[in-house]
């Protein structure tokens, strides 16, 4: 599938990065739910909110298009009146974590700056370390 525009592409990338942030070595969210389960719906809601928060922060005006999850979100929200607050808190944690990964001040972060920092970080991680001399 193709994206309608660059903003839609970036919104989707941010959604997927939100899932990435939930790994047990990062923010350790429950990523074990199967499609249709409450935990799956919760994680999708967290990812979508994270993307929305970051799009707002970065000035991206993309449409968040994940209509296939709306039914599961409604069921989740009807079953737990606090779910939206929990999801929002976890989404903000994910957004903060992702901003921290590019080493940026959120007040000055733009999409181009985030991309440049991310690419520089990847290049620096690929640069082999200097050889170390061993004593003796």
55-69 pLDDT, tens digit per residue, is 999 888 866 666 677
Confidence of residue 35 (pLDDT cuts 50, 70, 90): confident
Total domains, the chain: 1
Structural domain includes residue 131 = no
* Phi, psi angle pair for 117, to nearest 5°: -65, -40
Structural domain includes residue 36 = yes
Structural domain includes residue 62 = yes
114-128 pLDDT, tens digit per residue, is 555 555 544 444 444
Structure tokens at 122: 């990847």
Average pLDDT over residues 25-49: 93
Cα–Cα distance, 125 to 28 (Å, whole number): 23
Cα–Cα distance, 87 to 41 (Å, whole number): 10
What domain range is 98 assigned to?
6-119
CA atoms within 13 A of residue 66's CA, in its CB half-sphere? 21
Identify whether the C-beta of residue 95 lies closer than 8 Å to the C-beta of residue 50.
yes
Structural domain includes residue 129 = no
Confidence of residue 24 (pLDDT cuts 50, 70, 90): very high
Predicted TM-score (pTM) of the model is: 0.73
């Amino acid at each position: 599938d193709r994206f309608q525009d660059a903003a839609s592409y970036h919104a989707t990338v941010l959604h997927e990065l939100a899932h990435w942030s939930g790994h047990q070595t990062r923010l350790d969210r429950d990523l074990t739910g199967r499609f249709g389960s409450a935990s799956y719906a919760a994680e999708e809601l967290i990812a979508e909110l994270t993307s929305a928060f970051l799009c707002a922060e970065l000035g991206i005006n993309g449409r968040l298009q994940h209509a296939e999850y709306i039914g599961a979100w409604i069921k989740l929200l009807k079953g737990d009146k606090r779910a939206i607050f929990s999801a929002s808190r976890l989404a903000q944690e994910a957004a903060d974590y992702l901003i921290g990964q590019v080493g940026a001040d959120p007040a000055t972060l733009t999409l181009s700056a985030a991309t440049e920092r991310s690419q520089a970080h990847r290049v620096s991680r690929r640069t082999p370390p200097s050889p170390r001399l061993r004593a003796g």
